[in-house]
Structure 1
């Protein structure tokens, strides 16, 4: 096993995602605009981000959905699984612990005001982006949600 480089910064983050469903049963995706992080650039995912200090995961879900999409949401439930992903660059290793809430659309309108997002789109469940087009955990969370509908 290769020895770890002590110069590399290692960080862990808790990331909260919002799987938002509209009245047509479509799911909201945002496309990441992160040219500086090649693995994430132009990838689809649910609105979400890091928990700010003093914020609850629920507050993060609502805030991030509004910031990244312009939509107001309400949390319905927590998906019953946590996921983890790891990003490695020459300068840093980071591990994300991913939490995902099922949310319903309350209102608002699509607004591309977040520099980290290049596109906002509603997809029918059967036409949602595939794993290779998404950030880690996105399709896993979507499949957990779809399977919960079958019960």
Structure 2
């Protein structure tokens, strides 16, 4: 079976909002994430994906957990990290041109928006407290 490895960033602002992205032609939101490239650590992937998808520089604070699932016959392993943003956004620089919007979502907004990965919703709500 084919395998895919990726990283995802949980970034909470000082005012308790979660950094999220929305893809083109879609109304669903997700935390910044993407595939690990050859020679890259999960932490390096996480930092790169956040920069590409949101324009923010981040530093990894700690590893949170690893989610393993199967999507369309592919074994998917995603490393989730808590990250802290550094400075302001330089704008979306997504090489795949998938990401069209970046936003900081509050606890109440998180409850209302549609999530790409519905299984993450309760975790994200807990993170925001």
TM-score range, shorter chain: 0.7 to 0.9
Q: Which of the two has greater strand per residue?
A: 2
Asked whether the equivalents of residues 19 and 28 of structure 1 are also in contact (C-alpha less than 8 Å), the reply is: yes
Instruction: Give the corresponding residue for 1:54.
Output: 39
Distance in structure 2 (CA, Å) of the matches to 1:21 and 1:71? 12
TM-score for both structures, normalised by structure 2: 0.83
Instruction: Give the corresponding residue for 1:65.
Output: 50
Question: Matched residue pairs, number?
Answer: 126
The alpha carbon displacement at 1:77 in A equals 1.2
Q: What do residues 101-130 of structure 1 show as CA deviations (whole Å, max 9, x unaligned)?
A: 011111131623321112110011232155
- Structure 2 unaligned segments of length 5 or more: list them: none
Answer yes or no: is 1:24 the counterpart of 2:15: yes
Cα RMSD, aligned residues only: 2.2
Q: 1:125 aligns with which of 96, 103, 107?
A: 107
- Structure 1 unaligned segments of length 5 or more: list them: 1-9, 36-40
Answer yes or no: is 1:82 the counterpart of 2:66: yes
Q: What do residues 59-108 of structure 1 show as CA deviations (whole Å, max 9, x unaligned)?
A: 111100000000111111111x32233332xxxx3232121101111113
TM-score for both structures, normalised by structure 1: 0.72
Asked whether the equivalents of residues 46 and 138 of structure 1 are also in contact (C-alpha less than 8 Å), the reply is: no
Rate the CA distance shift 1:102–1:110 in 2: closer, same or farther, 3 A: same
Answer yes or no: is 1:135 the counterpart of 2:116: yes
Asked whether the equivalents of residues 10 and 80 of structure 2 are also in contact (C-alpha less than 8 Å), the reply is: yes
Asked whether the equivalents of residues 21 and 54 of structure 2 are also in contact (C-alpha less than 8 Å), the reply is: yes
Asked whether the equivalents of residues 9 and 82 of structure 2 are also in contact (C-alpha less than 8 Å), the reply is: yes
